[in-house]
Structure 1
Amino acid sequence: MIWPLITLLAVVAATLAIGWIVDQVLQRISASHPEAPVWSLLRRCRLPLQLTVVTALLLVADPPKRILHLKDDAGAHHLVLLLLLAALGWLTVRVVAALLDAVLRRYETVTEDPARVQRVRTQIGMLRRVVSAVIVVVTIAVMLLTFTAMRSVGASLLASAGIIGIVAGIAAQSTLGNFFAGLQIAFGDTVRIGDTVVVEGQQGTVEEITLSYLVVRLWDHRRLIVPVSYFVSKPFENWTRRDPGLLAAVLLHLDPTAPVDELRAALHAHLEQHPLWDGAEWALNVTDTTPSTIVVRATMTARTPDDAAQLRFDVREHLLAHLRDEHPRALPRLRTTDS
């Protein structure tokens, strides 16, 4: 009884030692090569690596049989084998995720175009989900093949695979449609994570894209869940597909005696010291007239849709406050005399 316990303790100690050594090696490599984020990301694989090592050592040493005094070690051996396969699948998923995240981080450091970064982030996120799903399916399939009963029915399964495939395709038509729509969105560059979109009359920011649905965060922090097939079958507005910046516009209905030139100078002075204006474009023009007012439109650019919205609010308040304090008669009023 003492030797199986010693063997088990040795396996645990060896597993912990291997995990610590690999982690220290990755940490040292990461410190000496800070420009390569893959080494620090691979440290996330320590737990599945240790699980893989301990199950592999248990499979070789086979202490469960001796500890439990089993005459037939087939059950314990099979259980450890299943754990080893699951651990290998988990480790593979973690390694692939670390490599893809490293590619994304590296791309973010060498690319200044935010539109390209959003496109690559969306594509890598979708690719990670697809690869993870494939690894999980393959792992489960290999685990099932370790059962004798599953191998014996393999011939009949292959014979009926055509019929099952047709039935499954009909039953999962919507799911498969969303799956391929997700791939089309990721690599077709129609919508990306971080884009500002208008869906069914509601404006929001794309927060997450999965294989089946897309999450849009609305202005009041509600989440709109939309099937990805919507974005390949119906029209929608994407305000930031080419350029993340936007042109903000403010409309004011003023008295015809309003000093437009002075108001234009006040707008420019306000934008010069405003942190949300990107310095690219601005203008103030009289765009229309009515029997009692003129329509003045102020336009200015901002880096992001959120900045454009806040800049629009601030400019409207500033212009109205300027007119109220300096030219109160320029605000619309009801005329009751000819003077």
Structure 2
Amino acid sequence: MRKIVKFIIPFLILLLAIFFKVFIEKYNLVADDWYEFFNRTGSILLIISIAWASIAVLQISKKMILSKLDVEQEDNLKQRKFLTQFNIMESIIYFLIVLIAIGSALMLFKDVRQLGISLFASAGVAGIIIGFAAQKLIATVLAGLQIAITQPIRIDDVVIVENEWGRIEEITLTYVVVKIWDQRRLVVPSTYFFEKPFQNWTRTSAEILGTVFLYTDYHVSFDVLREELTRLLESTPLWDKRVNVLQVTDAKEYGVEIRVLVSAKDSPTAWDLRVFIREKLIEFIQKYYPESLPRTRVVFEKGEGKDHPEIEK
């Protein structure tokens, strides 16, 4: 009920303002001294109500459009792309409506109108001064518009910003809010995404590869580990059945480095899959091949140093 009243109020004010102006002009029920006051008040009410009604219509349209978008589905790239553009354009329209309404209301006053003409006459110098003063703000706003058009990021994109993993929660004309994995919020200016490199893990698809590194002794059987990896992947729904690779990526004096490469439908799932594979492979080695765990060797040869004169004594 409260939401309905919120949308009805501006339209009631609009009807009241129109009735107020027409009633005064038609019947001239007030004195000439008060006529200008009531006429101007009615005009201001009319401007405010039109602006308010326009914003209400925009909000209603947004609710109707968003109700048809299913952002929660797995393959939601098109929905997130549209939602990003819609949110930024909504901010621009709100700003323009308020700006036009304030300007129209101020132009009803003759003193302000004359002041505006004087300002426009000297707009050359003032424009240069304001341009330098508002250079950062203008650049930030233009960056917000560029995000809406080119879309290097979208709502709910998974990104790495300032070495933090998170999702794009909000995009405005001037700043972007990143919801970090531990529920903190990282707020960065819109210009950041055009001035500094960042990672977007869902730019074209949410699918991602995950790696697990293991360090074992040289006695480990790689073929057995590959078989166990395949069995583990087939036993969990976290794996999307695209990539299943186990390779020896390095060999050093104390053992070998094994890299497991697996795939998942998105980054949170890939993280859970990596943890699962790491734990189970370590348990498998501990249980069936304990001699293959990493170890440091010290070898003493029998009879070593027997010819040393001190030992002979």
| TM-score bracket relative to the smaller structure | 0.7 to 0.9
Look up the match of 2:115: 153
The whole-number CA distance in structure 2 between the counterparts of 1:44 and 1:274 is: 50
Deviations 1:85-119 (A, max 9, x none): 2222122123234435545555659x985333322
Matched, 1:169 2:135: no
2:267 is matched by which residue type in structure 1?
P
Look up the match of 1:262: 224
Deviation of residue 211 (structure 1)? 0.9
The whole-number CA distance in structure 2 between the counterparts of 1:187 and 1:120 is: 11
Look up the match of 1:214: 176
Deviation of residue 306 (structure 1)? 1.8
Change (3 A) 1:98 1:261: farther
The whole-number CA distance in structure 1 between the counterparts of 2:247 and 2:216 is: 12
The whole-number CA distance in structure 2 between the counterparts of 1:44 and 1:260 is: 67
Superposition map of 1:1-339 within 5 A: 45-60=7-22, 72=34, 74-100=36-62, 102-103=64-65, 106=68, 113-337=75-299
Deviation of residue 337 (structure 1)? 4.2
1:196 is matched by which residue type in structure 2?
V
The whole-number CA distance in structure 2 between the counterparts of 1:306 and 1:277 is: 12
1:147 is matched by which residue type in structure 2?
F
Deviations 1:266-295 (A, max 9, x none): 222222232332232222222221122121
Considering only aligned residues, what root-mean-square deviation do their CA atoms show, in Å? 3.2
Deviations 1:169-198 (A, max 9, x none): 111000000111111122112122222222
2:260 is matched by which residue type in structure 1?
A
Deviations 1:123-173 (A, max 9, x none): 111111111111111111111122232223332132122332222111100
2:286 is matched by which residue type in structure 1?
R
Question: SS of 2:254's equivalent?
Answer: coil
The whole-number CA distance in structure 1 between the counterparts of 2:183 and 2:167 is: 10
Change (3 A) 1:332 1:145: same
1:231 is matched by which residue type in structure 2?
F
The whole-number CA distance in structure 2 between the counterparts of 1:275 and 1:48 is: 52
Q: Conserved in 2, the CA contact under 8 Å of 1:198 and 1:236?
A: yes
Q: What are the ranges of 5 or more consecutive residues in structure 2 without an aligned counterpart?
A: 25-30, 301-313
2:94 is matched by which residue type in structure 1?
S
Identity level (%): 34
Q: What are the ranges of 5 or more consecutive residues in structure 1 without an aligned counterpart?
A: 1-15, 24-42, 63-68
TM-score (norm 2): 0.81
2:166 is matched by which residue type in structure 1?
G
The whole-number CA distance in structure 2 between the counterparts of 1:73 and 1:326 is: 97
The whole-number CA distance in structure 2 between the counterparts of 1:256 and 1:134 is: 69
1:88 is matched by which residue type in structure 2?
I
Change (3 A) 1:306 1:52: farther
Deviation of residue 59 (structure 1)? 4.4
Bigger-Rg structure (1/2): 2
1:222 is matched by which residue type in structure 2?
R
The whole-number CA distance in structure 1 between the counterparts of 2:235 and 2:22 is: 71
The whole-number CA distance in structure 1 between the counterparts of 2:77 and 2:208 is: 13
Aligned residues: 294
Question: SS of 2:97's equivalent?
Answer: helix
TM-score (norm 1): 0.76
The whole-number CA distance in structure 1 between the counterparts of 2:266 and 2:45 is: 48
Q: Conserved in 2, the CA contact under 8 Å of 1:104 and 1:124?
A: no
